[in-house]
Amino acid sequence: MTETNLASRLIVGLDVPDLRIAQAVVRELDGVVSFYKIGYQLAFAGGLDFARELVAEGKQVFLDMKLLDIDNTVAKGVENIAKMGVTMLTLHAYPKAMRAAVEAARGTPLCLLAVTVLTSMDESDLIEAGYEYDPHTLVLRRAEQALATGMGGIVCSAGEAAAVRKVVGPELAVVTPGIRPAGTEHGDQKRVVTPADAIRAGSSHLVVARPVVAAVDRRAAAQAILAEMAAA
């Protein structure tokens, strides 16, 4: 696995409160990381314009919006997001929403990712929310539906990546958040694995936020994760 290939598989989550910090993270990681995730926190603090800036600089952007709405609203949102030039976009893996998004993104390079079960949720959380399935079963069911609707990839826990890979085959992206290098705190994540285990399980992309962004030396933290990925 080449260094360039590795860099394109590590996505650093810019889960920070403002653009000043996000810009500092990107500057510090220049030459090491080229792929960044922008979610709700930064999106509502100027992050969408920052996403356009990153794209213009040749960086890849994973826009983590987890869209879910009526078909027309999802479709119109996806159409505009595709025009931004971002690489990946998430939506919740509801079949109607996925079908609308796939049709809206047709002919563009935008990779649509189906969010299966949030990595902050375990079986008791799903029961409380009214689901009849345990996390593993629900993840696989949604992976099958995402494949059938023509989505570009799946977001799931790395603990489920191997099983998901068997469902979706070798071509779809399997993007795994909740990655925690050995010896780091889990925070609010409940279904976590190490970078090496995620790669071995079949993850195509790893999303890492706090272990890099909150590190004293962000550059060294990212390089350590890349080294662990290479060793796997």
Query: Does the annotation flag 118 for ligand binding?
Result: no
User: Which of these, 23, 26, 42, lies nearest to 34 by C-alpha position?
Assistant: 26
Query: Does the annotation flag 66 for ligand binding?
Result: yes
DSSP structural state of residue 46: I
Query: Does the annotation flag 80 for ligand binding?
Result: no
Q: How far apart are CA 232 and CA 89, in angstroms?
A: 27
Query: Does the annotation flag 217 for ligand binding?
Result: no
Query: Does the annotation flag 18 for ligand binding?
Result: no
Q: Which two tokens stand for residue 198?
A: 């995620």
Query: Does the annotation flag 189 for ligand binding?
Result: yes
Query: Does the annotation flag 30 for ligand binding?
Result: no
Query: Does the annotation flag 49 for ligand binding?
Result: no
Query: Does the annotation flag 69 for ligand binding?
Result: yes
Cα 19 versus chain centre, distance: 20
Task: State residue 65 phi and psi, 5-degree precision.
Answer: -100, -15
Query: Does the annotation flag 83 for ligand binding?
Result: no
Q: How far apart are CA 151 and CA 149, in angstroms?
A: 6
Q: How far apart are CA 12 and CA 211, in angstroms?
A: 9
Cα–Cα–Cα angle for 219, 16, 86, rounded to 5 degrees? 80
Q: How far apart are CA 203 and CA 33, in angstroms?
A: 18
For the annotated catalytic residues, the residue numbers are: 64, 66, 69
Annotated binding site for substrate: 15, 37, 64-73, 119, 180, 189, 209-210
Which residue ranges make up the annotated binding site?
15, 37, 64-73, 119, 180, 189, 209-210
